[in-house]
């Protein structure tokens, strides 16, 4: 097992307080760990030059079964800005384990590089890689969760509102991987979340129940609706995502008809608080889940979210590679 250290240059650099392990699910993080991660994110965002050699000599490999703009570039730019290097393997033409077992792949990778980033269809692929690899593994998106996105989103809300336990977020649309991660991370931080989806498209019951269990400890309110106006009423931010996620494009026509009443437009935003922000993880299908009027409005923070993907992922890299503490056993909530 490797021992990780941070190289210091000039200004003393803070050591992350989180133990080095994997990031598979937002449910893997306790409230105090997310707050520590956010504190590190703020420092990295405000003083990037102080961390230019923090991960010098570290190597990251990324395997992507799905296309990407923000995830790939922010991880690559983030690793580069910390002094490390990145290797990218395009798996969009075939699954990662098409040629050999994940176990064999993991045992090869752990001897060559320091960290593995996976963007996959099957969440179990990430769990299995983490179970076999003796280096940290990051979930850069699976069909079940998108933890890096949710952490960037909640960090963005913290920048705008401060205390996240006083924030009420509404999510309208498909109960997909983004919705799952927002539920779990938001509950950990005491952020109240209302979700509105069409019947049959709600978040998974197991994820909702896990979020509700955490919310009982943090005081967050978790509400699942079918009426978008009921979910949005009086909230501090309104979030939506595409109606047909990657891998479900063949369902787009059917889904567009089902989800039409869930479009975030000026009329729906009027039900939220007057200071409410609009959020979207991007890419957006303008004219479908959101109108131009809403996504281009002054209260839209979609590009703040996109920028913060870079900063939160740099913090995650520092946490996993710069902590100098042995990895803990994999403990994904969905194993």
* 201: pLDDT strictly greater than 70: yes
Q: Which of 21, 255, 309, 334 is catalytic?
A: 309
CA dist., res. 187 & res. 204, Å (int):
15
Task: For residue 34, report the phi and psi dihedrals to the nearest 5 degrees.
Answer: -65, -40
- Strands lying side by side in the sheet with 192-196: 222-225, 192-196, 168-172, 237-240, 277-280
Task: For residue 311, report the phi and psi dihedrals to the nearest 5 degrees.
Answer: -70, -40
CA dist., res. 124 & res. 150, Å (int):
20
Q: How confident is the model at residue 323 (pLDDT cuts 50, 70, 90)?
A: very low
Q: Which of 146, 180, 311, 334 is catalytic?
A: 146
Task: For residue 137, report the phi and psi dihedrals to the nearest 5 degrees.
Answer: -125, 135
CA dist., res. 117 & res. 138, Å (int):
5
**Predicted local distance difference test score (pLDDT) of residue 253:** 83
CA dist., res. 278 & res. 301, Å (int):
6
Mean pLDDT computed over every residue of the chain = 91
Average pLDDT over residues 152-156: 98
**Predicted local distance difference test score (pLDDT) of residue 16:** 44
**Predicted local distance difference test score (pLDDT) of residue 35:** 96
Q: Which of 13, 91, 149, 313 is catalytic?
A: 149
**Predicted local distance difference test score (pLDDT) of residue 245:** 76
Percent of the residues in the chain that have a pLDDT greater than 90, as a whole number: 86
The token pair that represents 5 in the structure block: 């250290």
Q: Which of 119, 168, 180, 334 is catalytic?
A: 119
CA dist., res. 330 & res. 20, Å (int):
11
* 331: pLDDT strictly greater than 90: no
Q: How confident is the model at residue 247 (pLDDT cuts 50, 70, 90)?
A: low
Q: How confident is the model at residue 203 (pLDDT cuts 50, 70, 90)?
A: very high
**Predicted local distance difference test score (pLDDT) of residue 282:** 98
Which is more confident, 235 or 1?
235
* 53: pLDDT strictly greater than 70: yes
Q: How confident is the model at residue 329 (pLDDT cuts 50, 70, 90)?
A: very low
Q: How confident is the model at residue 67 (pLDDT cuts 50, 70, 90)?
A: very high
Percent of the residues in the chain that have a pLDDT greater than 70, as a whole number: 89
Q: How confident is the model at residue 244 (pLDDT cuts 50, 70, 90)?
A: confident
Q: Output b/e per residue, 236-262; b: 16+ Cβ within 10 A.
A: bbbbbbbbbbbeeeeeeeebeebbeeb
What tens digit of pLDDT does each residue of 20-32 get? 489 999 999 999 9
**Predicted local distance difference test score (pLDDT) of residue 139:** 98
**Predicted local distance difference test score (pLDDT) of residue 61:** 98
Average pLDDT over residues 294-313: 98
* 12: pLDDT strictly greater than 90: no
* 334: pLDDT strictly greater than 60: no
Known catalytic membership, residue 281: yes
Known catalytic membership, residue 119: yes
Q: Which of 22, 72, 143, 281 is catalytic?
A: 281
* 324: pLDDT strictly greater than 60: no
CA dist., res. 58 & res. 154, Å (int):
28
Which is more confident, 246 or 18?
246
What tens digit of pLDDT does each residue of 82-114 get? 999 999 999 999 999 999 999 999 999 999 999
Kindly report the number of other CB atoms within 10 A of residue 45's CB atom: 17
* pTM summary value: 0.89
**Predicted local distance difference test score (pLDDT) of residue 150:** 98
Known catalytic membership, residue 95: no
For the chain, report the end-to-end CA distance as a whole number of angstroms. 23
DSSP string of 248-278, one letter each residue:
-GGGHHHHHHHHGGG-B-HHHHTTS-TT-EE
Known catalytic membership, residue 2: no
Strand extents, DSSP E, 5-146: 59-64, 85-90, 115-119, 137-139
């Amino acid at each position: 097992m490797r021992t990780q250290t941070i190289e210091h240059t000039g200004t003393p650099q803070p050591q992350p307080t989180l133990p080095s392990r994997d990031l598979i699910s937002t449910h893997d993080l306790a409230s105090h760990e997310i707050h520590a991660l956010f504190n590190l994110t703020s420092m990295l965002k405000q003083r990037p030059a102080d961390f230019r050699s923090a991960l010098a000599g570290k190597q990251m490999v990324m395997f992507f079964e799905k296309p990407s703009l923000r995830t790939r570039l922010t991880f690559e730019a983030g690793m580069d800005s910390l002094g490390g290097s990145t290797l990218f393997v395009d798996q969009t033409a075939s699954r990662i384990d098409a040629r050999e077992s994940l176990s064999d792949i993991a045992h090869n990778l752990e001897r060559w590089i320091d960290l593995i980033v996976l963007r996959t269809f099957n969440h179990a692929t990430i769990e299995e890689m983490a179970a076999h690899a003796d280096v940290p593994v990051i979930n850069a998106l699976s069909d079940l969760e998108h933890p890096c996105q949710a952490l960037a989103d909640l960090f963005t809300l913290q920048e705008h509102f401060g205390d996240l336990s006083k924030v009420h977020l509404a999510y309208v649309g498909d109960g997909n991987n983004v919705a799952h991660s927002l539920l779990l991370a938001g509950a950990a931080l005491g952020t109240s979340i209302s979700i509105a989806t069409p019947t049959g498209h709600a978040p998974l019951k197991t994820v909702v129940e896990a979020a509700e269990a955490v919310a009982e400890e943090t005081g967050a309110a978790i509400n699942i609706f079918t009426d978008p106006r009921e979910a949005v009423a009086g909230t501090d931010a309104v979030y939506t995502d595409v109606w047909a996620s990657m891998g479900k494009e063949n369902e787009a026509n059917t889904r567009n008809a089902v989800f039409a009443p869930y479009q975030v437009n000026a009329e729906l935003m009027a039900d939220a608080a007057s200071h409410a922000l609009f959020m979207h993880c991007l890419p957006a299908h303008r004219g479908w889940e959101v109108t131009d009027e809403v996504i281009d409005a002054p209260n839209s923070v979609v590009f703040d979210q996109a920028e913060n993907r870079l900063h939160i992922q740099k913090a995650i890299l520092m946490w996993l590679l710069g902590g100098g503490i042995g990895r803990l056993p994999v403990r994904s909530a969905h194993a």
